[in-house]
């Protein structure tokens, strides 16, 4: 796993030490519009802030509007010319996802960049409002539905603007530590065999498989939209708030290897904006460089099965 980071630059010229501001230095995002989910804290906040700094119109998709507005004010204090909007989105609720997408489309806004960043980690077994295990529902299904509902908008924007659309899926190297069978299609809601840790890995594997299969489909269509997944790094954010004593111990033990938030947001910003990524699709990134994903990510049958499974869960079929 990419947990002990190299300080040496990779082929891109960047390393684990690079910050989001570093990897976007000199890039002008004026005229681009991006949605960032989970933009009110952690690497989502930093991603939104840096994109806005580079001139991108950022829609902050957040669960709590009041918190989102305060975060927006903080970004604007730092970047007075920032163009930001805050919209409510609860990824654990398909009704909320559908409302967000409908409201966004009604605004007739373009969409160049979609960053699927929000997530939860290792809660006790819980079912979402739609009766789906909460990590799988929030980290994968909510983002899968959101992407499908906004995909036509992205395609139209790329055609009209003649600019490549980019979908950025924040996965994790922990996708390599899912259940032994990868995605447990028949046991998503099995409380007896539920492991908070492996279920998180499963949801992150689903993120990477989603990116892989969507990239394949868009390439077949010759759509000018790319899709890539990434590992942001091991970062101390409130994502770990549900970890138990053992996990917290190892988090403290690994403290010297953790990235800070600006470093953690770097790969998202790199994949979203950097010209080096133009035309690149279906890849997995870490430390702002193409990296090696786990074995299941290269399993086209699992990717296709997950796609059909997700369509059924979101009633898109």
Inter-axis angle of helices 42-53 and 266-273, nearest 10: 40
Between 6 and 307, residue with greater pLDDT: 307
Contact partners, residue 308, CB within 8 Å, separation at least 6: 317
Catalytic residue among 194, 198, 200, 270: 194
Judge contact between 136 and 199, C-beta under 8 A: yes
pLDDT score, position 4: 45
Model pTM score: 0.93
Query: CA-CA distances (angstroms) from residue 15 to 134, 140, 261, 291?
Result: 33, 28, 15, 12
- Per residue, the 3-state secondary structure of 254-270, as one string, reads CHHHCECHHHHCHHHHH
- Whether 220 has a pLDDT exceeding 60, the answer reads yes
Q: How many residues are there in the chain?
A: 317
Please say if 194 is a catalytic residue: yes
pLDDT digits (tens, 9 = 90+) for 146-162: 999 999 999 999 999 99
2-16, 173-187, 247-261 — which is least confidently predicted? 247-261
pLDDT digits (tens, 9 = 90+) for 15-29: 999 999 999 999 999
pLDDT digits (tens, 9 = 90+) for 117-138: 999 999 999 999 999 999 999 9
């Amino acid at each position: 796993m990419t947990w002990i980071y190299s300080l040496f630059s990779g082929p891109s010229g960047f390393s684990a030490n690079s910050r989001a501001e570093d990897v976007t230095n000199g890039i002008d995002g004026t005229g681009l519009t991006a949605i960032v989910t989970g933009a009110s804290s952690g690497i989502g906040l930093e991603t939104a802030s840096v994109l806005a700094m580079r001139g991108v119109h950022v829609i902050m998709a957040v669960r709590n509007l009041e918190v989102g507005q305060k975060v927006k004010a903080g970004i604007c204090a730092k970047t007075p010319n920032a163009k930001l909007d805050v919209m409510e989105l609860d990824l654990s609720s398909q009704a909320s996802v559908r409302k967000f997408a409908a409201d966004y489309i009604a605004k007739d806004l373009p969409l160049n960049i979609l960053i699927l960043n929000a997530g939860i980690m290792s809660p006790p077994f819980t079912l979402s409002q739609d009766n789906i295990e909460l990590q799988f529902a929030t980290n994968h299904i909510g983002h899968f539905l959101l992407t499908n509902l906004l995909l036509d908008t992205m395609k139209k924007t790329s055609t009209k603007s003649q600019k490549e659309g980019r979908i950025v899926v924040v996965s994790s190297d922990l996708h390599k530590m899912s259940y032994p069978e990868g995605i447990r299609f028949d046991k998503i809601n099995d409380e007896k065999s539920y492991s908070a840790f492996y279920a998180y890995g499963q949801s992150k594997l689903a993120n990477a498989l989603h990116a892989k299969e969507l990239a394949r489909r868009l390439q077949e269509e010759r759509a000018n939209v790319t899709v890539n997944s990434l590992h942001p790094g091991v970062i101390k954010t409130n994502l770990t708030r549900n970890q138990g004593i053992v996990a917290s111990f190892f988090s403290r033990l690994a403290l010297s290897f953790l990235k800070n938030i600006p470093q953690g947001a770097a790969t998202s910003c790199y994949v979203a904006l950097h010209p080096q990524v133009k035309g690149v699709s279906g890849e997995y990134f870490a430390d702002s460089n193409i990296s090696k994903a786990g074995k299941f990510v290269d399993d086209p049958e699992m990717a296709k099965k997950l796609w059909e499974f997700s369509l059924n869960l979101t009633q898109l079929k």
